[in-house]
Amino acid sequence: MSQVKLLDTVALLKDLPEYGLVKGQIGVAVEELAPKVFEVAFANIQGETLAMLPLQTEFLMVLYYDSVAA
């Protein structure tokens, strides 16, 4: 799996019901808090923030809009 970088678009790899988030939900890594820990912002289609929380990279998958070498 690709390493998460600042401002990457990511998908959540597990449900977080305490925050109202489900596996597959899309967010953006907005701040690196520690090695392999990012503050991730999740928003709805209108751009309203649903949650902003620190997550370890093991719970995130980087999403790509273009083809990349495997």
The residues that bridge with 41 in the sheet, in sequence order, are 28, 52
Model pTM above 0.85 = yes
28 is a domain residue:
yes
Q: Could you tell me the pLDDT band of residue 11, with boundaries at 50, 70 and 90?
A: very high
Percent of the chain residues topping a pLDDT of 90: 89
69 is a domain residue:
no
Instruction: Please check the confidence at residue 13 and state whether its pLDDT lies above 70.
Output: yes
Structural domain boundaries, residue 49: 9-62
Residue 1 is predicted with a pLDDT of 52
Residue linked to tokens 């999403």: 63
31 is a domain residue:
yes
Query: Domain containing 48 — which CATH number?
Result: 2.30.30
DSSP string, 1-67: -PPP-TT-EEEESS-BGGGTB-TT-EEEEEEEEETTEEEEEEE-TT--EEEEEEEEGGGEEE--SS-
17 is a domain residue:
yes
Q: Domain tally for the chain? A: 1
